Structure 1
Amino acid sequence: MPKDQDLWLNQLKGVVVSDGIRYTGSEEAYLKFLRTFTCTLDDKAKEIEDSYNNKDMDFCTMKVHALKSSARIIGARKLSELAERMEEAGCKGDTKTFDAHINELLDLYRSYKDKLSRLPKEMEIIKKEPISDDALSDAYEAIKAFAAQMDVDALRMIIDELGTYILSKKDEELIETINRKLIQFDWDGVEKLLQ
């Protein structure tokens, strides 16, 4: 990894870098996940805010659940833990707790746009490299786990990440089939493909 990227990681605020690397498998993969998290932040924060304002608590809770997962993947512990408390409140119909913390959640989430603003520009252009057997195996295990949780956004992050690597024809076809199952919300189908 270039020294400037390594330095940037060491200076990163708001995340536990060791968590992110453990979840994603490598520093390079972690940086790619951070890029995805940053690029989708505005739209996903607006989805949470709009669904809350429209009193669509089921959809809002689902999006908060997805935020919990993606925040955990990048090592944003405080954000992930707050999202988890909000998700639990939403599932219980505890609107008092949800109302009390929604602005805190959105402010903290949006603060990561500034925290991650120094993401190296060279990450915008990534040359595809072959994926290691271990990384591919970890990705498939993560897909199975998130399919069991019906976590669309976390699955999208993993599939997008796999798209940055050179895959075998067999794995490309498997990922494409998983994508089709995901579009249909066929969670059991996704899990069966990876058994």
Structure 2
Amino acid sequence: MDISKVISEIKKIEGTDVETGLEYCASDEEIYVETVQDFLEDDRGSAVQEAFTQNDIDSYHINAHALKNLCYTLGLNELGDKAKELDDAAKIKDFEYIKAHNEELMSMYKDYTSRLKTIIEE
């Protein structure tokens, strides 16, 4: 795997700030790519969706919060912002807001993970 090429391709994804992600990874591109791989393997989005399906607001809050933090750590700011909105809603137990916006979060999550997987697997 050509780490520099992977980084270059991730930078092309709208809504990403790889430089910030690299800062969280001690400016080490290899650690950053490994962290992206871990993010993809962890599949926090499935945990968020499962909590939503189960109407488990506490679990939803925990998983949306974790997704938000992971996104910001990787510089996936647009996705992190959407996860933050839903994390904030879960924090105040606003399930109506979550019902209205969960699908948008899941769609964004699937889009980002699909694009990242394509880059990582090249």
Q: Same fold (TM over 0.5)?
A: yes
Q: CA deviation at 1:72?
A: 0.7
Corresponding residue for residue 39 of structure 2 = 37
Q: CA deviation at 1:113?
A: 2.4
The C-alpha deviation readout for 1:100-133, integer Å capped at 9, x for no partner, is: 1100111111212221122157xxxxxxxxxxxx
| Structure label with greater radius of gyration | 1
- The answer to whether 1:5 aligns with 2:3 is yes
The C-alpha deviation readout for 1:41-66, integer Å capped at 9, x for no partner, is: 2xx22221121111111111110000
Q: CA deviation at 1:96?
A: 2.2
Please list every run of 5 or more consecutive structure 1 residues that lacks an aligned counterpart in the other structure: 122-195
- The answer to whether 1:84 aligns with 2:84 is yes
Say what the alpha-carbon RMSD is for the aligned residues.
1.6
The answer to which structure, 1 or 2, has the higher relative contact order (CA under 8 A, 6+ apart) is: 2
Say whether the 8 Å CA contact 2:20–2:74 is kept in structure 1: yes
Letter in 2 for 1:6: S
Could you state the TM-score of these two structures normalised by the residue count of structure 1?
Answer: 0.56
The C-alpha deviation readout for 1:119-164, integer Å capped at 9, x for no partner, is: 157xxxxxxxxxxxxxxxxxxxxxxxxxxxxxxxxxxxxxxxxxxx
1:1-195 to structure 2, matched below 5 A, reads 4-12=2-10, 13-14=13-14, 15-25=16-26, 26-41=28-43, 44-117=44-117, 118-119=119-120
Instruction: Give the distance between the partners of 2:5 and 2:46, measured in 1 at CA.
Output: 32
Say whether the 8 Å CA contact 1:5–1:120 is kept in structure 2: no
Say whether the 8 Å CA contact 2:3–2:29 is kept in structure 1: no
SS where residue 119 of structure 1 aligns?
helix
Length, aligned pairs only:
117
Instruction: Give the distance between the partners of 1:98 and 1:46, measured in 2 at CA.
Output: 15
Instruction: Give the distance between the partners of 2:88 and 2:47, measured in 1 at CA.
Output: 19
SS where residue 9 of structure 1 aligns?
helix
Q: Which runs of 4+ in 1 moved over 3 A?
A: none
Instruction: Give the distance between the partners of 2:47 and 2:121, measured in 1 at CA.
Output: 27
SS where residue 24 of structure 2 aligns?
helix
Considering fraction of residues, name the structure with more helix: 2
